[in-house]
Amino acid sequence: MHLKNIYFVNLWLVFCLLFTTACNDDDNIYFTQDEIIGDINSGKQIALENNTLVVYTNNMATSVNVQGAKGKIHATSSDENIVLVTSSNEGKATVLVEALNIGYAQITVTDAGGNSATFTVEAKDGEELWEKRIYTLRGKRQCLIKGVTPSDSAQIAAEAIGKVPEAKWVIKKCSYPFAESLQRMYVYDEENQLLVQGILEIEKSASNQPSCSIYSDKHELLMNYTMPISEYFVKDLTDEYRNIYPEVTEVLVYLPFAPIL
């Protein structure tokens, strides 16, 4: 065969090989996540980087799209103590990945035609997602009382100041994509025993001061403080003392706090 003809034959074979490979890439199963913008040239979603998904414990399950599958899919995890996986065939084929413990697992997805593909899941500690701030409620306290006699005021103050134990407050904040940040508060006593934990919400009180409230997961109010002045939390005990002293109009305990670096 003439050398020029051989050259064109080889060139044609290379073209066919590239074309076949491209077609096979479209037919093979691969994995993506929802993106606002995919590949700018093809318009497709971009495959998982290094075919690896990073998830966190104590967090919401992460959805992964299964591309190129034929018919219904079924997914399995190589280690269900590390990662749980659930298949979904409603609409587009997806798998939900939930991290239970720190470690690695392989997720294998098989379609109705017997084709399969695998991606790696790295499960990290969910605590890494939370920004942590720690405060102590220690130091000299003050009590503001209005509406009663000086003697009653002294008696109320002596008792009210001791009603709120010295404590350590740990505030954790986590921000989620396309969602509001979530804050949780954990209150520990001097022996580091957990006293209260719940969802932290900061809002305006009736006096237009920032109000710090802790709610249970069922949204029951567990604790409430306001922060009218710098470096003090304020505990309002007015309602508690009004039953004993009907004339009292205000009982506020000022609790100094300081951040632990």
Q: Which two tokens stand for residue 118?
A: 């695998």
Q: How far is CA 106 from CA 72, 82, 109, in A?
A: 20, 10, 10
Sign of CA dihedral 21, 22, 23, 28: positive
Q: Which two tokens stand for residue 186?
A: 């954990």
pLDDT of residue 22: 39
Q: Which two tokens stand for residue 28?
A: 């093979």
Q: Three-class SS of residue 41?
A: coil
End-to-end distance of the chain based on CA atoms, in angstroms? 81
Q: Which residues contact 219 (CB under 8 A, 6 or more apart)?
A: 199
Q: Which residues contact 206 (CB under 8 A, 6 or more apart)?
A: none
If one counts every other C-beta atom within 10 angstroms of the C-beta of residue 184, the result is 15
Contact 214, 203 (CB under 8 A): no
pLDDT of residue 27: 58
pLDDT of residue 14: 42
Q: How far is CA 155 from CA 125, 135, 149, in A?
A: 50, 29, 10
Q: Which residues contact 106 (CB under 8 A, 6 or more apart)?
A: 77, 78, 118, 119, 120, 121
What DSSP character marks residue 19? H
The residue ranges of DSSP E strands in 47-189, in sequence order, are 52-56, 62-67, 73-77, 83-88, 94-99, 103-111, 116-124, 131-137, 142-146, 167-174, 182-188
**What is the model's pTM?**
0.54
pLDDT of residue 42: 47
Transcribe 128-144 into DSSP letters: GG-EEEEEEE-S--EEE
Q: Which two tokens stand for residue 220?
A: 């029951």
Using a 10 angstrom Cβ sphere, with 0-12 exposed, 13-18 middle and 19 or more buried, the burial of residue 69 is: buried
Residues of the chain with pLDDT under 70: 1-27, 35-45, 176-180, 205-208, 227-230, 261
pLDDT of residue 31: 94
